[in-house]
Structure 1
Amino acid sequence: MAVRYYLGVDQGTTGTTALLLDENLAVRGRGYRELRQYYPRPGWVEHDPVEIWESVLDAARQAMEQAGARADEISCVGLDHQGETCLIWDKKTGKPVYPAIVWQDRRTAEDADRLAQEHGAMIRERTGLMADAYFSATKLGWLLENVPDLRRKSVDGEVLAGTLDSWLLWNMTGGRAHCTDPSTASRTMLFHLEQGCWDGEMLGLMNIPPNILPEIRESAGYFGTTDPETFLGISAPITAMLVDQQAALFGQRCYYPGQAKATYGTGCFLLMNTGDTPVRIPTQLLTTVAWRLGGKTTYALDGGVYIAGAAIQWLRDGLELIRSPGETELLAEQAETNGGMYFVPAFAGLAAPHWDQYARGTIVGLTAGVTKAQFVRATLESVAYQVKDNLDAMEVASGITIPSIRADGGMAKNRFLMQFQADILGVPVEVPQVVDTTALGAALCAALGHGVFPDLSELCGRPMEQRCYEPTMSEDQRQYWMHQWHRAVERSLHWEEHGKGFK
């Protein structure tokens, strides 16, 4: 009997991961390729879309080779991606007209400020989001206004626009499909949260022609069939597309209200399932779509942190304090304390719960006695503090006490960070055996969309092997460290002043 595999592809900010699951949902192959980011100006962050596509091919190829899988053994494909990162490409040639603008990019911060002042309440009500440069709408608007002749081409239907799922789907299918799902659409600031479709008023406000946007389909279902000439000889249905954080929520089996996960990647994102009702909050957290299955939409609360693993990458590449991220665990444990130093890694502003586009990275409490190990420890601690701020805001907003969180992503392998996270939260942190939960979620959702499972209950019944970190810190210590952290955050806020300073 032939072996059948489910392929999950996680296209992330700093790299692409592919997992191959067998019919028992065991991981048989894994592939990974790092992805370069480009910084053409301060506050600008870009990707090369062709490099992104090549990274997907390479990661999937590695996973297949490790598993010894043939192209004809791939049963279905699931795809997750960065979310707000977006691009526009030529409809005939398939070539991007400009680099992909990454979710961290702040070039449209002033445009977002004007939107917030003039239409903030309306945007919040219709989309569940804050008016912020984080989301796709202002990025697409910038492209249409700044790339020569692109406005005309968009009106004439010569180009297509989308987030990275639609770009990768286009390439996987040989240009035959241009689609997205509700979880992705809800990250654009162009999607009506409750009506479940592109919002005509938002499209008009942003001056974005609807004809260039992808069709919105259910998160699990048929999106198209891979073209063997472009996708590694594979001819298989693509049966799931999700935003990366929602894919992680799915992979962590957070299928019921009150269940929450934190994914530690380039950024760190705490999501809590709120069921079939969107929880509306005037500030701090985002209301977003988790997924739409069988005509039913599940919503989530989202507390996003822009910089997590990216701070470790900066220690390695920018400061050359470490040679690899794996060194940070031992260094942090050796330090024993942070030496009184607090590091706010606001390289691209601060997201939830502060929403300050003009905050900048700040180090306080620095003395000549601070060591490299303490600097590394303070960097890891900064991630945990930010998750704590978001969990507190989430509990207040929802009225739900979160008894534990499920952690995943590359940084979830760091035992110091996971123990410190449990300590600073005061609740257990559960880490699954497979920390590539985002790619896992894409594969599981694809299997669901392919009809392998009748519903979510069968997935819930499959146990996940995990390690549990129990909190050991006293409440007095926790409160003191959070107090010091908040003092540091205050000093980072509103640092950037537009229109001032020397060139």
Structure 2
Amino acid sequence: MLGDSQATLYAYGYYHQLSSFKVTFGTGSSVMLNLGPKLPANIDNQLNTSLAWSRDGQRQHVLEGNINYAGATITWLKDNLQLITSPSETEALALADSLQDETYLILAFSGLGAPYWLPNIQAAFVGMSRSSGKAELVKAALDSLSYQITDILDEFTHQYGQLDDLIHVDGGMIHNRYLMQSLSDFTQKAITCAATAELSSLGTALNALNLAPETTTKAPEELATLPILLIPNI
């Protein structure tokens, strides 16, 4: 049995490649790095470690940072602030913002999790001006996700070392081109998107089938094609 995030990482076919990692966008967000069979000596408590899976008699470990609000942030924009009527509107709004605006969202509805661990911090829009409007607030909300993911990846690098140059992303928010481009720009890494929405189910099935090799003829990487989607613009 695999956890959802571990199964998603497995589905990519990177069960044997160290330094590979993925970002899943759901209600929250999971950023997970394959550590391999041994935990590095310098891992601290800023991020979570766990057993990923056992394959061919060898255990694999992962390092993970979780963001409490990802898709839930868009729901908040729609239901609470009523800035949008559909999540699909956020891409066009973010692209229409004023380039001079410096509005930021501190995404801390339940404090800040990894890698900050500041439970008493409260959410806030900061840097607003008279020109700040709907587009600027939506853009700030999307950018807040990219900022947090970038900080988690920086912590990965600090604790583990050099990471892959590709970010493997999955989940409903991968269809937001603005978000994917901002993530690429902030992290200075290329973005690849999952070919299927149900990667956790795929990973669980593939891991189980590995116990009976005669039942499958395809490796995981053949089933989850990941075309390069975006590269950094800045």
TM-score by length of 1: 0.44
Q: Is the 8 A contact 1:279 1:301 kept in 2?
A: no
| Aligned-residue RMSD, C-alpha | 2.0
**1:312 to 2:106 alignment:** no
SS for the counterpart of 2:219 is helix
**1:242 to 2:34 alignment:** no
Distance 1:274 1:398, change over 3 A: same
* Matched residue type, 1:365: G
SS for the counterpart of 1:441 is helix
Counterpart for residue 231 of structure 2: 470
Deviation at 1:254, TM superposition (A): 2.1
Moved more, 401-410 or 412-421: 401-410
Distance 1:346 1:338, change over 3 A: farther
1:409 to 163, 171, 178: 171
Q: Is the 8 A contact 1:395 1:402 kept in 2?
A: no
- What does 1:49-448 correspond to in 2, within 5 Å? 241-255=1-15, 256-280=17-41, 281-335=43-97, 337=99, 339-448=101-210
Distance (whole Å) between structure 2 residues aligned to residue 275 and residue 352 of structure 1: 21
TM-score by length of 2: 0.90
Q: Is the 8 A contact 2:13 2:219 kept in 1?
A: no
Deviation at 1:379, TM superposition (A): 0.3
Distance (whole Å) between structure 1 residues aligned to residue 204 and residue 86 of structure 2: 28
Larger CA Rg, structure 1 vs 2: 1
SS for the counterpart of 1:323 is coil
Distance (whole Å) between structure 2 residues aligned to residue 329 and residue 421 of structure 1: 13
Deviation at 1:434, TM superposition (A): 1.7
Distance (whole Å) between structure 2 residues aligned to residue 436 and residue 466 of structure 1: 17
Distance (whole Å) between structure 2 residues aligned to residue 446 and residue 469 of structure 1: 33
SS for the counterpart of 1:290 is strand
Distance 1:338 1:269, change over 3 A: farther
Distance (whole Å) between structure 2 residues aligned to residue 336 and residue 406 of structure 1: 30
Distance (whole Å) between structure 1 residues aligned to residue 197 and residue 227 of structure 2: 10
State the Cα deviation string for residues 161-198 of structure 1 (Å, max 9, x = none). Answer: xxxxxxxxxxxxxxxxxxxxxxxxxxxxxxxxxxxxxx
More RCO (CA 8 Å, sep 6+): 2
Deviation at 1:334, TM superposition (A): 1.5
* Matched residue type, 1:267: G
Distance (whole Å) between structure 2 residues aligned to residue 322 and residue 445 of structure 1: 40
Deviation at 1:465, TM superposition (A): 4.4
* Matched residue type, 1:300: V
Deviation at 1:453, TM superposition (A): 3.7
* Matched residue type, 2:120: Y
Q: Is the 8 A contact 1:338 1:375 kept in 2?
A: no
SS for the counterpart of 2:96 is helix
Deviation at 1:291, TM superposition (A): 1.3
Distance (whole Å) between structure 2 residues aligned to residue 246 and residue 368 of structure 1: 45
Q: Is the 8 A contact 2:192 2:226 kept in 1?
A: no
Deviation at 1:324, TM superposition (A): 1.4
Distance (whole Å) between structure 1 residues aligned to residue 224 and residue 9 of structure 2: 16
Q: Is the 8 A contact 1:260 1:271 kept in 2?
A: yes
- What does 1:1-80 correspond to in 2, within 5 Å? none
Deviation at 1:247, TM superposition (A): 1.5
The share of aligned pairs that are identical, in percent, is 34
Distance (whole Å) between structure 2 residues aligned to residue 324 and residue 404 of structure 1: 30
Q: Is the 8 A contact 1:254 1:261 kept in 2?
A: no
Q: Is the 8 A contact 1:279 1:287 kept in 2?
A: no
State the Cα deviation string for residues 300-346 of structure 1 (Å, max 9, x = none). Answer: 11121111111111111111111111111111112153721100111
Q: Is the 8 A contact 2:6 2:53 kept in 1?
A: yes
Distance (whole Å) between structure 2 residues aligned to residue 463 and residue 245 of structure 1: 15
Distance (whole Å) between structure 2 residues aligned to residue 318 and residue 278 of structure 1: 42
Deviation at 1:383, TM superposition (A): 0.3
Distance 1:369 1:268, change over 3 A: same
SS for the counterpart of 1:303 is strand
Distance (whole Å) between structure 2 residues aligned to residue 334 and residue 243 of structure 1: 39
State the Cα deviation string for residues 39-87 of structure 1 (Å, max 9, x = none). Answer: xxxxxxxxxxxxxxxxxxxxxxxxxxxxxxxxxxxxxxxxxxxxxxxxx
Q: Is the 8 A contact 1:337 1:377 kept in 2?
A: no
Deviation at 1:396, TM superposition (A): 1.4
Distance 1:289 1:372, change over 3 A: same
Deviation at 1:355, TM superposition (A): 1.1
* Matched residue type, 1:410: G
State the Cα deviation string for residues 352-400 of structure 1 (Å, max 9, x = none). Answer: 1101222221211122311101110110000000010011110111122
